[in-house]
Amino acid sequence: MNVSPARRLALEILRQIEKGARASSALANLRADKPVDRRLATELVMGVLRNYRLLDYLIERFSTKKVDKFDAEVRLALRLGTYQLFCLDKVPEAAAVNESVNLTKLHCKSAAGLVNAILRKLSENKTHLAKDIIKLAPPIKYSHPDWLYERWQRFWGKEAEAIAAANNQTPQVTFRFNLLHPEVEQAMKTLEGLYEPGRLLSSACRLLPDAQRELLDSFVSKGACYIQDEASQFVAELVDARPGQTVLDLCAAPGGKTTLLAARMCNVGRLIACESDRSRFEILAAAVRRMQAKVELYCCDATAELPFEGIFFDRILVDAPCSGTGTLARNPDIRLHLRPEKLSELSSIQYKILCNAASRLAAGGRLIYATCSLEPEENEHVVEAFLASHKHLKLLTLQPDTGKALIRLWPHKDSTSGFFVAVFEIS
């Protein structure tokens, strides 16, 4: 059957994600013979995940049953075809239909006629349907769970729709140069003119849309560059790690902030990084090796007593496990799996980790708490509870011009992932 490798890979990865795999892990393990196939497969996977509710709405306009009642492969073939019809201008409509029909035949030949009929009707009515999309309720138009969007409306009012819309944009590729790597000067020379400085940090690099991604990827694979959201880099910079200090990074995988801390310390001093999950620990270890960072690695649970008796740290970073609702543009699969009851569970974990970290803070040191969540339960509420039980600590003013001690970064305002940051010091 004549099906493009990219579309075949995209369906396989989407099926893995439906079974519980993380999109980031599945795409990281994607094996394609040609870069163009890898790029298209990634675009298809991320596009379907960002638009799943909208795609289902469109499909059900011409289907006699709900999309979730179809066999998995049929459902995904329909979503892939519909996404290409409505969201990818460079894909001819005939190709979008025919490829999805052939993809269906690989898995469920009897459903090929149905898929063909639905996609052709969508193609024929595309102009009319595009007008209908504009009038849809935001949770469907931007494919967010109702409960999450309603929360944002309560907390952020009219900005909820702007946040949801920003989450459906493809984020600009952001990276940094690894100053610890011997080939960093060559990387800077080769990539000159292919990026622009970040909006928050001049050291953050935003790859220009027409730049050759393959050039960047070659230096990323060597360790001379690291792809990292600008907000994530911003958090690591707030740690203010310096050469000669003793620094602890809890919940450190996948290693972006850890290796940036090592670079700011010039590999001088003592940097310890912890991760509890074994598979993520291996990812962290690989990043540390590739980036030539001097880091002591521990696979340990940060909610339990930390294995650092007698060691006190000048800087401690708690980049806490969280819901990730600030990263829905980069991690759209979170929309499929997150449930509201998870927020209280996470806030309890975050509080425990923060308390354990505080027990190892040296006099004059700083404790940095960060999440990539937009939810108050994981941010302000955790900070309030922590300060109530740790009277010897106070918040550091992070924005002297406004007197604000807490920082929020927003997808729709800052063109980054959404992050929350608080910095504590001994009063």
| Token duo for residue 173 | 């590729």
What does DSSP say about strands 361-371 and 225-227: parallel, antiparallel, or unpaired? unpaired
Which entry of 205, 225, 251, 372 is annotated as an active-site residue? Answer: 372
Question: Would you list the DSSP string of 335-350?
Answer: HHH--TTHHHHHHHHH
Evaluated on CA atoms 315, 321, 326, 329, the torsion sign reads: positive
The CA distance from 394 to 268, in Å, is: 29
Cα–Cα nearest to 356, from 304, 427, 395? 304
Q: Is 422 helix (H, G, I), strand (E, B) or coil?
A: strand
CB atoms closer than 10 angstroms to residue 376:
16
Cα–Cα nearest to 316, from 408, 220, 386, 246? 246
300 a catalytic residue: no
Evaluated on CA atoms 117, 119, 121, 123, the torsion sign reads: negative
Give the H or E element holding residue 364: strand 361-371
The CA distance from 426 to 221, in Å, is: 41
Catalytic residue numbers, as ranges? 372
